[in-house]
Amino acid sequence: MGSGMAGRVLSAGFPLTVYNRSAEKGEPLKAAGAFVARTPREAAARAEVVISMVVDDVASRAMWLGEGGALAGAAPGTVLVESSTLTLGWIKELAAAAAQHQCEFLDAPVTGTKPHAAAGELLFLVGGSAPTLEAVRPVLAVMSRDIVHLGPTGSGATLKLINNFMCGVQAASLAEALALLEASGLDREKSLLVLTNGAPGSPLVKVLSARATAGDFTPNFMLGAMAKDIGYALEEGERHGITLQTGISARKIFQQAIADGYADKDFSAVIESQRKR
């Protein structure tokens, strides 16, 4: 995701500095004109806008606050944009740390997958100050099809967790449905035509069904990341006194798929995991 986003920023003519924990992943961007920093701190010191896209709270904390972290390199007035899917607790902690460094902060996770990132078709879900968003809108615009300002800090992160919770539940229910129709001896192709073109046929169900039918589980969105996001959504629900029962069931199905060895595959592989059980 981050590589595609960085490529869009670079292609729009913005001067770009990149950092990745695996340095070799920055080489194509370097060849295209980006400066590859040795640490997040070095990258932030060269920037007016710092955008993070990592897998989870642990990686985000290390990127911002770890040894050589970005926050230490950011000058006062720098706009910090966290686009990862993270817990609300960490987002609020990070926003407070940004304020202590006199930096502006936006939580701006995205919907979409790797092809959307490369094509500039992400949807940004933004929490934070409206003036701060307007200041960085030209940068976000080259990566996105739309930018939705949802309210104060944490608003974007909250909706992203709800979005991914719903996606995970749909994927898990599709996996069980396909396992049931095959166990029942129904014709898979005919049955899928009914499901995908009828009421259950959401855009996501259609995409996942096609990938499972093709047996192509090249990761656009990793299965392990979806399990993590459902878990974060469950935590947020509990914080509000809401038990997301369908989320609990979906997470179990994804955890089974991880145990089956599909963590690094596309999350559509949850279907394959259920078929083989």
Question: For 94-121, what is each residue's pLDDT tens digit?
Answer: 999 999 999 999 999 999 999 999 999 9
Q: Length of the chain in residues, anyone?
A: 277
Q: Which residue among 114, 160, 228, 265 is the active-site one?
A: 160
Give the span between the Cα atoms of 232 and 210, in whole angstroms: 28
Sign of CA dihedral 221, 227, 232, 238: positive
| Strand spans (E) along the chain | 17-18, 35-36, 49-52, 79-82, 104-107, 110-111, 122-128, 144-151
For residue 242, pLDDT over 90 is answered with yes
Give the 3-state secondary structure of residue 269: helix
For residue 277, pLDDT over 80 is answered with no
Given pLDDT bands bounded at 50, 70 and 90, which one contains residue 21? confident
Given pLDDT bands bounded at 50, 70 and 90, which one contains residue 276? confident
Instruction: Indicate the residue type of 84.
Output: S
For residue 24, pLDDT over 90 is answered with no
Q: What is the pLDDT of residue 151?
A: 98
Instruction: Indicate the residue type of 270.
Output: V
> Percent of the chain at pLDDT above 90?
96
pLDDT digits (tens, 9 = 90+) for 51-78: 999 999 999 999 999 889 999 999 999 9
Given pLDDT bands bounded at 50, 70 and 90, which one contains residue 47? very high
Active-site residue 114, yes or no? no
Q: What is the pLDDT of residue 67?
A: 82
Residues 6+ apart with CB under 8 A from 17: 34, 35, 36, 37, 42, 43, 46, 47
Given pLDDT bands bounded at 50, 70 and 90, which one contains residue 248? very high
Residues 6+ apart with CB under 8 A from 275: 175, 178, 179, 182
Given pLDDT bands bounded at 50, 70 and 90, which one contains residue 26? confident
If 0-12 CB within 10 Å is exposed, 13-18 middle and 19+ buried, where does residue 71 land? buried
Q: What is the largest CA-CA distance in the chain?
A: 64
Give the 3-state secondary structure of residue 121: coil
Q: What is the pLDDT of residue 272?
A: 97
Q: What is the pLDDT of residue 22?
A: 84
Ordered by where they begin, the domains of the chain are 2-151 (3.40.50.720), 158-275 (1.10.1040.10)
> Percent of the chain at pLDDT above 70?
100
Given pLDDT bands bounded at 50, 70 and 90, which one contains residue 23? confident
* Tokens, residue 53: 């896209």
| Mean pLDDT in residue range 260-277 | 95
Q: What is the pLDDT of residue 66?
A: 84
Give the span between the Cα atoms of 74 and 46, in whole angstroms: 8
Arithmetic mean of pLDDT over the chain = 96
pLDDT digits (tens, 9 = 90+) for 146-188: 999 999 999 999 999 999 999 999 999 999 999 999 999 999 9
